Structure 1
Amino acid sequence: MCLLLGCLVGTMAGLLGIGGGLLVVPALVVLLPKVGIAPELIMHIALATSLASIVLTSGASARNHYKLGNIDFSVVKSLAPGVIIGGLGGSVVAELVPTELLPRIFAIIVLLLACQMLASMRFSGQRPLPSAAGMFGSGSLIGVVSSLAGIGGGSLTVPYLSWHGMEMRRAIGSAAFSGALIAVAGMSGFIVAGVGTASLPAFSLGYVYLPALFGIVLTSMYTTRFGAALVSKLPTLVLKKIFAVFLLFVSIRMFLG
Structure 2
Amino acid sequence: MVKPLAVGFVVLGVAALAYAELVPIVQQRSSNADAVLSVLLVFIVILLGFYVLRSIARQRPAEIHAGVLSLEHPVRRIDGSRTRIVALREIVQVQPNLVGGYPGIQVTLQDGASFFLDWYAFGSRGIDILEALCRPFGISFLKDYRRLLLDGSTYRFQIARIRRVSGPLLYLYPPVRTNERVGPLGQRRTRTVALSLVKSIEGASPSYAGRSLLVTLGDWTMFLIPEDDADAHALLANEDWRSKLVES
Taking structure 2 as the reference length, what is the TM-score of the superposition? 0.21
TM-score of the pair, normalised by structure 1:
0.21
Q: Which has the higher strand share?
A: 2
- The structure whose Rg is larger is 2
